[in-house]
Structure 1
């Protein structure tokens, strides 16, 4: 039994800050999914751990965690995810084992969380606190790992995100998920992956296949849920600007732009913006030297030009990593998903 202190809850009080600026840019605008299975006896022992947290209104809400479930057969921890379920009197959870979770009550929105780490390092645990805080608001939260470079290069990370999304579809009845209210959050490399999936979700199959190893006739394409909202923090958005012979991203993209131009095109969210993309909230540190602010600025401008609802929040005087942990970032994530997925 794990208990979150009340201070860990989302709160509008104490979160407001003048160290950011919000730039609203628009208001418009047969293969089966993998089964949920316990990864190990140790992880199964953690299933059913309950975190109790206070909501903004002070009403206790339980968040039940099912840790280290498996969405794919990738080696090691790459194919694992955590499930965070909000519990109330109307939403009870029962489980016979780590692989079968059943929830009572009305369908609720879901959020897929994607960690950062330059596509080469990182783990889902870095976002675990965010997951519990979102779950206590009423979201079903799936927090995923994915295959890492250089052993696994683009587009395998993108396909892993798609495979994790299929978990929401396969278990939508058991977990009581409204598949018309699926959102995504990621930071850094995770922000890139969430933004890329968001803009590709309504593209034609040849464009989608620029960022996939799935075949054009793979039935999983038709099983993917629509993406209703994307929040991306510190995302690299356009690899087309990399000089032709620059090998700095070869570990991820498989070569230089001259050698694999389609990978640099396929991996660039800005290149695939079109009308009908889901609403987006971008968050970026003003002093980000690892992923310059220009990435989000140009991506936001492209979304605005396409008539997509997008807002860019710039965290003043903050670099890449500190922006993830900034109070304004936490508040913007909450406000965005509540507005897009919870409010009528």
Structure 2
């Protein structure tokens, strides 16, 4: 790994060691306030919680929203998508328009483990609305599901995206009783750029409280490798990913901003408290499997297990997830980490 990074940065051994040992930037993941409910345009007074920006959402929504205290309405996912005992509402976990999450929670039965779903889109696009069917599938398995948006690279540079995922997780765990959720059992499932964010959160610090596993579907966990692969000799997709990684770093290249790129490079941050991870790649996609193999080696060096599975073809992200056996394997792996839900 050091050889590859040295090739990318064109640095001497001492400079590279400085980059690799640089402490990760400290981000306050707990600074966000309580999640703010954003009711649908025509809320049901008997099912919509009171909407106060700083108030904790009630455990059993029942009060009608107050016109004087409600934030601007935003459309919630159609309840027709949800299993019978599931409620879905959109909450804000920060002040930016992109800092929102759709929470699917079961109103009956025991407290449920949670699955956080993180969309992809080159860090510069994408939306949680494209993750509805995947969210439904995990809700049908009995889990609480949090389908979240985050600030894009055009809104804010790294590490804003990682900070947003940390803040969303913190908000849900803080209000776990409101969502009939077990704050001590959750996993992160990320697609493409979202897979990078999921792995970056998993490797942040020495593990995260309650995090039982991380899944990445085509995750570009090594932006430095993406930068190298996206040279003039790379494919159009690889060149696009290189530009996307530079934009994520605030428009700065690795040589000019080594600390930022070090912070973005997930294999640099493996530690013994990190959760187990699972990654899927296609053999010929523009985010090659070797990126996850690098992370696997880094995690193995500190005693953390990671499984990297490679499928034939070029499918990337959600299309790869829809390949025969992929979703089923991911779901089985998650059940093994979180347990089955009874009742």
Asked whether the two chains share a fold, i.e. TM above 0.5, the reply is yes
Matched, 1:142 2:146: yes
Q: Secondary structure at the match of 1:68?
A: strand
Q: Is the 8 A contact 1:108 1:139 kept in 2?
A: yes
RMSD: 2.5
2:15 is matched with: none
1:250 is matched with: 246
List per-residue Cα deviations over 1:133-159 (Å, max 9, x = no partner): 111111100000111112311111111
Matched, 1:306 2:302: yes
Matched, 1:232 2:219: no
Per the TM alignment, residue 80 of structure 1 is displaced from its structure 2 partner at its CA by 1.7
Q: Is the 8 A contact 2:76 2:102 kept in 1?
A: no
1:49 is matched with: 79
Q: How does 1:54-133 map to 2 (within 5 A)?
A: 62=84, 64-75=86-97, 78-86=98-106, 91=108, 105-133=109-137
In the alignment, structure 1 segments of 5+ residues that lack a partner are 1-29, 53-60, 92-104, 204-223
2:34 is matched with: 34
Q: Is the 8 A contact 2:186 2:338 kept in 1?
A: yes
Question: Under a length normalisation based on structure 2, what TM-score does the superposition of the two structures give?
Answer: 0.71
Measure the CA separation in 2 of the matches of 1:314 and 1:47.
33
Q: Is the 8 A contact 1:33 1:170 kept in 2?
A: no
Measure the CA separation in 1 of the matches of 2:41 and 2:146.
20
Matched, 1:263 2:250: no
Q: Is the 8 A contact 1:62 1:136 kept in 2?
A: no
Q: Secondary structure at the match of 1:82?
A: strand
Measure the CA separation in 2 of the matches of 1:71 and 1:266.
23
Q: Secondary structure at the match of 1:153?
A: coil
- Between Structure 1 and Structure 2, whose CA radius of gyration is higher? 2
Measure the CA separation in 1 of the matches of 2:253 and 2:165.
24
Q: Secondary structure at the match of 1:327?
A: coil
Question: Under a length normalisation based on structure 1, what TM-score does the superposition of the two structures give?
Answer: 0.71
Measure the CA separation in 2 of the matches of 1:116 and 1:280.
18
Measure the CA separation in 1 of the matches of 2:125 and 2:316.
16
Measure the CA separation in 1 of the matches of 2:76 and 2:130.
18
Answer with 192-201 or 300-309: which moved more: 300-309
Q: Structure 1 residues 122 and 311 mapped into 2: Cα distance closer, same or farther (>3 Å)?
A: same
Q: Secondary structure at the match of 2:211?
A: coil
Per the TM alignment, residue 280 of structure 1 is displaced from its structure 2 partner at its CA by 0.9
Structure (1 or 2) with the greater strand fraction: 1
Matched, 1:341 2:338: yes
Q: Secondary structure at the match of 1:120?
A: coil
